[in-house]
Structure 1
């Protein structure tokens, strides 16, 4: 019998990106600026929805929940990203590494469920307008929002716990944060079963939500095409276009990493794709939801006028 000496590492080293010379501080400053703008944009949406009564609709409530989620989602990985951009190799304790892995995937799967709920909201508003307010009461909104968080954080327990119980012989993680595939590559044992189990859980959570979104938008399309005028059809589609863009950004990048084979891609490609859904998508989402949005522009004007009145009065 051959005895294999498994090394249970206490720390990992995040390899990050290979940046040298003037590119290194530029990449750091660029990432820091995008992160700070992301925080500002999402906080702006949360505050605006809270203070303006004109945005007190289910659609904007769920948009504010998405913005709150994005604050945590982007912050989960950006600290280690900034550190690896400055120092390249970033040490991280195994405990923090697995916490990051769990929280990142919990928030990611929560977003999958939340995007489905937002599609359901648009379906009810367009296909069942007479019953919309009864079906999407404040109590139901809160219940649906809470259910997305419970479902996301419950589903992520399986892949995170399976990965955390592996014995690791190597320390250097070929990524800028602790993710499933880079961590399993460091294990001393065959991880084929773990990869299949993780893929099943993540695949069911993301795949079922994606199919649900497609089905709901199929119903929306069918209902919109029955509307009598081109103007009413354009208005109905405009309320869905932002959400469809966000779904395409999120699922397009996530499916590329977690569904397609990583072996067929050049080394380092997964890190670049991860930047898309972990950093750029939270940055772009508020822009997508507010750009050329008449209701948001009117809300900003109302809040601005109110502040001017208060300042003049004082």
Structure 2
């Protein structure tokens, strides 16, 4: 953990999250949305993991990466949403310094991992569509495990290690204008020269956001070219519908993250910054299971088979 800064020998031991202080109606509305979103996220991703484990027909690279994404989304929302719900119940919620930093580090790491994992999934879909006959040869299990490991380990090296190498120093001001302990919000409280920290954040954000997003756009461009070669109009429409929904969620996630981390940082937290935090921290994990798998015919078929087996065993 970074060492605490001091101002007039005053040590910061806690942060006050004032994101929506003085707005009880806004907090109650936000709390209702967060509860609903969290339940849908947990149930949707839990269902995906259950179907994958129970149905051997889904044991292929695409669903292996989707399971990684489901585990990631469950952990990602759990690190922040329950605490955000609790914070909505009081006007000036307080978090200890260590808990706040733990939440920030965990969210930063999991969010960075998702950036890499979405790029890996786009590559997997590109191989499946452009080279279906050699798909299982190219995307063998060693390659799949290696790509997943690179996503998890690479995110740690680019998100957590730079923060630990450049510890922040804070003055006596401890009011965070956010609903969670988010990196850009905490950076506004740093009283020492943070030029190096800003440069490191822009550099690492470029690797975790711009490069994967550019790769995804390139992959989907190649996928669209491959789809146009499909002779069946029904097949083309189905493929375009699937890719369009995938790309929409990807653009929402990367777009909001790029806006948050690559724009010039100011000392003032605007209302739109808080809304954007809710979008990439809550809405995208909610949409992922709906877009990637619950609209998928193979998953629906697996659910019907598992439900049929359960009913037959009961009879």
TM-score, reference length from structure 1: 0.89
Contact conserved, 1:122 with 1:240, CA < 8 A, in 2? no
> Which of residues 74, 77, 80 is equivalent to 1:77?
80
Secondary structure at the aligned position of 1:205 is classed as helix
| 1:209–1:141 distance in 2 versus 1, CA, 3 Å | same
User: What is the CA-CA distance between 1:143 and the residue it aligns to?
Assistant: 2.1
Contact conserved, 1:114 with 1:145, CA < 8 A, in 2? yes
| 1:25–1:308 distance in 2 versus 1, CA, 3 Å | same
1:1-314 alignment to 2 at 5 Å?
Answer: 5=8, 7-18=10-21, 20-21=23-24, 24-161=27-164, 164-261=167-264, 263=266, 267-312=270-315
User: What is the CA-CA distance between 1:111 and the residue it aligns to?
Assistant: 0.3
Secondary structure at the aligned position of 2:94 is classed as strand
Distance 2:33 2:307 in 1: 30
User: What is the CA-CA distance between 1:291 and the residue it aligns to?
Assistant: 4.7
Deviations 1:225-284 (A, max 9, x none): 233343343344345334223212211221221223455997222111100010111112
User: What is the CA-CA distance between 1:44 and the residue it aligns to?
Assistant: 0.7
| 1:277–1:6 distance in 2 versus 1, CA, 3 Å | farther
| 1:266–1:169 distance in 2 versus 1, CA, 3 Å | closer
Moved more, 182-191 or 253-262: 253-262
Aligned residues: 309
Distance 1:5 1:162 in 2: 25
| 1:265–1:52 distance in 2 versus 1, CA, 3 Å | farther
Secondary structure at the aligned position of 2:270 is classed as coil
Structure 2 stretches lacking a partner, 5+ long = 1-6
CA RMSD across the alignment = 2.3
Secondary structure at the aligned position of 1:86 is classed as coil
Moved more, 206-215 or 16-25: 16-25
Distance 2:39 2:65 in 1: 22
Secondary structure at the aligned position of 1:12 is classed as strand
TM-score, reference length from structure 2: 0.89
Distance 1:266 1:63 in 2: 34
